[in-house]
Each structure stands twice: as structure tokens, then as C-alpha cells.
Amino acid sequence: MKHSKIYIIKRKKHYNLITALSLGVFVMIALICLCSYCISSIDISENVIGVMTDIVLCAGGFASGFRFGKLRRHKGIAGGFLCGLCLGMITMIFGLCYMRSFAFFNMIKNLILLCMSGAVGGVCGVNTKIKRPPP
């Protein structure tokens, strides 16, 4: 049985994780740009900026977990948690490079937010219906 190139690429071991993480990073960057535009145009307090940051992290983790669960179609909680963990490590590394300091409790909070939202996204991705073409 001969498989197409796209099928072979999708069957690679880490294809699902890489595509899910890239989607999560893209969503986070897009929302960061949107939030930075809102912050620059309107005077916003620091508390609201913290909430915006948490929303950006949760949206990125959810999108990543959702994509992973939708591609893999099983083990949504574990896969979403893994996506959230990897995305948390990526944001932690970029945060350390940018800030050049280590805020332990803030990073742990962000990691927990990403893991929880990734797990929820993974469950939602596994439970979505598969689109079938009309007969």
C-alpha cells in the first residue's frame, strides 16, 4: 500500500507536537501585538495588564492543546498538558533572555496556567467532531 507524502509527514513522531506548539506561539504573538496596541492607545493600570497577560497565556495554551488533541484524537489531557508544559518552557526561556532575571513564582504561575489551559484545549480537541465530506 502506497501512502502519499503528506500522510507520511503527518505520521512522523513529533509532527503533531511541533505544529501544535507553533500554533500556540503564533496565537500568543498575535494576542500580544493586539494587547500592546490597546495598552499604547489607552491608559491601562498594571492590574489590567496582568490580567491581559494571563489571558494571552491561556489562549496560547488552549490553542496548542486543541490542535494537538484534534490531530491525535486520543489522550487529550496528557497531550494538552504536554503542549502546555513545552509552551511554558519556551515562554520561560524567552522571558529569561529578555528580562535577564528570574521571577520564580511568576514563572510557576504562568506554567500552571499554560498546563491547565493546554489540558482543557486537548480535551476539547479530542471531543470535536470529525468533518466528513457530504455524500
Question: Has residue 1 been placed in a domain?
Answer: no
What domain range includes position 32?
A: 13-126
Q: What secondary structure does DSSP assign to 59-123, as a single string?
A: HHHHHHHHHHHHHH-S-HHHHHHHHHHHHHHHHHHHHHHHH-S--HHHHHHHHHHHHHHHHHHHH
In a domain, 63, yes or no: yes
Instruction: Judge whether 48 lies within some domain.
Output: yes
Inside any domain, residue 94: yes
Residue 132 lies in a domain: no
Residue 57 in any domain: the answer is yes
Q: How far apart are CA 21 and CA 16, in angstroms?
A: 9
Whether 117 is in a domain gets the answer yes
Is-above-0.85 flag for pTM?
no
pLDDT over threshold 60, residue 9: no
Look at residue 8 and tell me if it is in a domain: no
What's the domain count of the chain? 1
- Reply yes or no on whether the pLDDT at 1 is more than 60: no
